[in-house]
A = this chain, B = another copy of it.
Amino acid sequence: MGEIRCDNRTASALVLLSGGQDSTTCLYWATRRYGRENVSAIGFDYGQRHIEELKCAQAICNDLGVHFEVLALPAVNSITENALTRAEIPVDIASVIATKPKDDGSDLSPVPPNTLVEGRNLLFLTYAAIYAKSKEIKTLVTGVSQTDFSGYPDCRDVFIKSANVTLNLGLDYPFVIETPLMWLDKAQVWALAQELGVLNVIKEKTLTCYNGITGTGCGNCPACTLRRRGYEGFIKESTVCTN
């Protein structure tokens, strides 16, 4: 009896790329899984506070030789009010850091962090799906994670699965949404970067900081705090494993 072989390298994938730690890790994960010649990326300019991240994304794609498409979504900022797209609204640090969900994602806090851009991930996935179908790409890769979801309902696994069905019905196309980080915490995302051989790339070339500073960032904003805590956790776990 022959071996059952499953060779995904003949398939192609579109990565939703922001230029931050999570989505960039997903980009490298996808190039490993599908071959870099079969991977492309898409990003969104929606008036985000840390627009510099798209430049990081472009630079990383240039290094990899991966095509990067950026779509302008000006309507997002005109209908939402939040600290991520409005410079005049300060980020509420406590609300971003404090939220920690149950494993089943059921305990959404009554007031989500004020960096939440409502409906963002469904918009991004829909634009990505429209673009992907036009290129005959069936796999969409997104870096959302339920483990460290900061109270964002559209990072939950149940949302992604529902969105997958909706996209397949709406575009009559067999998309598969892959979420390699769904059940990883921030320390484990750093560990994945190490496993993929890109720890330094992620550390130095991605942008998570709300103040737009690449790499280790400003060190003070909620995004920097979460990123640093994750890295410290990763280093601690690595040390335990080594000894």
Enumerate chain A interface residues (CB-CB to B < 8 A). Answer: 69, 71-76, 78-81, 108, 112, 118-119, 121-123, 126-127, 129-131, 133-134, 153-154, 156, 158-159, 162-163, 165-167, 169-172
Instruction: Looking at the assembled complex, report how far the CB atom of A195 sits from the nearest CB atom of chain B, in whole angstroms.
Output: 31
* A contact face: mostly helix, strand, loop, or mixed: helix
Selected contact of A79 from candidates B79, B112, B134, CB within 8 Å: B134
Closest to A79 in B: B131
Question: Known contacts A72-B74, A108-B172, A163-B170; is A119 also within 8 Å of B123 by CB?
Answer: no
- Please list 7 pairs of residues, one from A and one from B, whose beta carbons are closer than 8 Å in the complex, sorted by A's number: A72-B74, A79-B130, A80-B130, A154-B170, A156-B169, A159-B169, A162-B169
**Contact assessment for A122 and B79 in the assembled complex, using a CB-CB cutoff below 8 Å:** no
Give the distance in Å from the alpha carbon of A163 to the alpha carbon of B74 in the complex: 23
Q: Which of A69, A76, A154 has the most CB of B within 10 A?
A: A154
| Chain B residues within an 8 Å CB radius of A76 | 130
Instruction: Looking at the assembled complex, report how far the CB atom of A102 sits from the nearest CB atom of chain B, in whole angstroms.
Output: 15
Q: Which of A123, A129, A130, A170 has the most CB of B within 10 A?
A: A170
